[in-house]
Structure 1
Amino acid sequence: MRILAFSDLHMARARAADIVAASAEADLVIGAGDFGNQRRGVDQAMAMLAGIDAPFVMVPGNNESLDELHNAAPEGAHVLHGTSVTIEDVTIFGIGGGIPPLPMCDWSWDFTEQAAEALLAGADGADIIITHSPPRGIADVVRGLGPVGSVAIGEAIARVQPALAVCGHIHDCWGQEGMVGATRVVNLGPTVNWFEV
């Protein structure tokens, strides 16, 4: 399966156009959250991505809630949060939101580590895990704050060992990656990223 994945679009029209154009070659498109800005513009972001015809799986970021993404998502898209979907024999689990909450964002859609741990209990058997937040220790360093990734996400990836785990959220670390056991973990950013699973 040829997968195109991105995160943190934040309503960037040129980036959206690149993603839509590339999606013609994809068997699956993954959006790892933050389509809008500070809980606004999700409808406009989805309109920018309207040309995607491949199966589209997404999670909310911290810049939109689950309900806000559900309401804006195109018909047929799969919005995941503590849930999974199977496409062409590939099982994809997703969880959105900022985990753990960042201290400087009172508008942010966030979860504690304990709440995330409960949601991540359903990840067993996944071939791909999509999270908005990175696991602790991989592509998670914010300038001036240090590492802000999620312990619960890291533990879930270590337990499940999917073929691939993708995330976003931490803009300073777009394009960075690492390993959790045998699992490749990539902080995507708003560019065209290709994977084979």
Structure 2
Amino acid sequence: MTSKKIRIVCISDTHNRAPGEGYTLPQGDILIHAGDLTNQGSYKELKKAVDWISSADFAVKIIVAGNHDLSLDSNYSLKHKSGWRVWPEDVEACKELMRSDQFIYLEHSSAVVHLQEKDVTLRVFGSPYSPDRGRQNWAFQYADDTAASLWNDIPAETDILITHTGPAGLCDESRHWEQGGCAALAKTLPRIKPLVHVCGHCHEGRGARIVDWGDACPTSSPAARVWSDASAGTKKVSKLDLSELIAGRETAVVNASIMGTSHGHGGKVYNKPIVVELRVAASGD
């Protein structure tokens, strides 16, 4: 079987920051943004994000929204009296920004992506959702009692999974979210076993873990190996080499948060994008 090496540049939680504003984009075949393009989901912020993503030099670019991207959520409402009180702007105009031939926007939906130069086809599912923790008014939120049903929508045959929230216990450290990632999403992963699961949301959880599904408890050590970023403290690219990843047996969970700290927990700290190098079967095989 012929395999091809691809480079996936993973980012999330840029919060209205473009490349050159705290971080730079390495070269790659695919760019993935796992949500929170903006701070308040305004048209101006979304337009800025769409403009720089459209001009980025990648064969394929895939975007999901996040809880801050209010104006992309048609069902947004102020559910909690004590929560954040920001109204979305013209939802249809903002959603129209995401209808572009320059990138793929996924809103709890699937796409089949073909890299022509590499002759590689990937099945991708992307979702903007994150758990409603009951204190603040955010976009694309769900209650715990609907979580299992929501994540059952993910097709079993998914190569690349992109969700704004991460799974509980895997790259979900946070000083803002007490409960971190989603337990129901963590329980769903063994059914799917994607090659790569890109997420964000929990800024302090930036990093990666490689899960071995042969273990009965995939979120516990040593079944989930922690990736050590050899580029830490340098200007080198943060590279996650998955060329030896075993399809159907292992999944790399990648929290690609660019913002390194949560709001109100210290000054702005920026992480580097995570470049995933992956070997996948050529489409003709």
Q: TM-score range, shorter-chain basis? A: 0.7 to 0.9
Provide Cα deviations, 1:12-54, integer angstroms capped at 9, x if missing partner: 13248722xx2xx322111100001132222222223332242
Name the amino acid aligned to 1:101: D
Q: Within the alignment, does 1:3 sit opposite 2:8 as a pair?
A: yes
Aligned-partner Cα distance in 2 for 1:152–1:79: 24
CA apart distance, 1:162: 0.7
User: Number of residues paired by the alignment?
Assistant: 192
Does the aligned pair in 1 maintain the 2:208–2:252 contact within 8 Å?
Answer: no
Aligned-partner Cα distance in 2 for 1:12–1:115: 32
Q: Within the alignment, does 1:196 sit opposite 2:277 as a pair?
A: yes
Aligned-partner Cα distance in 2 for 1:115–1:70: 25
CA apart distance, 1:144: 6.7
Q: Within the alignment, does 1:183 sit opposite 2:187 as a pair?
A: no
Choose between structure 1 and 2: higher helix proportion: 1
Aligned-partner Cα distance in 1 for 2:104–2:7: 17
Aligned-partner Cα distance in 2 for 1:57–1:16: 21
TM score, norm. by length of structure 2: 0.60
TM score, norm. by length of structure 1: 0.84
Aligned-partner Cα distance in 2 for 1:183–1:63: 27
Q: Which structure 1 segments of 5+ residues have no match?
A: none
**Relative to structure 2, which stretch is displaced further, 110-119 or 7-16?**
110-119
- 2:142 corresponding residue in structure 1: 111
- 1:28 corresponding residue in structure 2: 30
- 1:164 corresponding residue in structure 2: 196
**Relative to structure 2, which stretch is displaced further, 25-34 or 118-127?**
118-127
Name the amino acid aligned to 2:122: V
Q: 1:183 is paired with a residue of what secondary structure? A: strand
Aligned-partner Cα distance in 2 for 1:178–1:195: 12
One of 100, 106, 116 as aligned partner of 1:80? 106
**Relative to structure 2, which stretch is displaced further, 7-16 or 79-88?**
7-16
Name the amino acid aligned to 1:46: V
One of 164, 167, 174 as aligned partner of 1:135? 167
Q: Which structure 2 segments of 5+ residues have no match?
A: 1-5, 75-90, 115-120, 214-249, 259-271, 279-285
Using a 3 Å threshold, how does the CA distance of structure 1 residues 103 and 112 change in structure 2: closer, same or farther?
closer
Aligned-partner Cα distance in 2 for 1:79–1:66: 13
Between the aligned residues of both structures, percent identity stands at: 26
Give every structure 1 segment of 4 or more consecutive aligned residues whose post-TM-superposition deviation is greater than 4 Å: 66-69
Q: 2:31 is paired with a residue of what secondary structure? A: strand
The root-mean-square deviation of aligned C-alpha atoms, in Å, is 2.4
Q: Within the alignment, does 1:58 sit opposite 2:63 as a pair?
A: yes
One of 21, 29, 39 as aligned partner of 1:37? 39
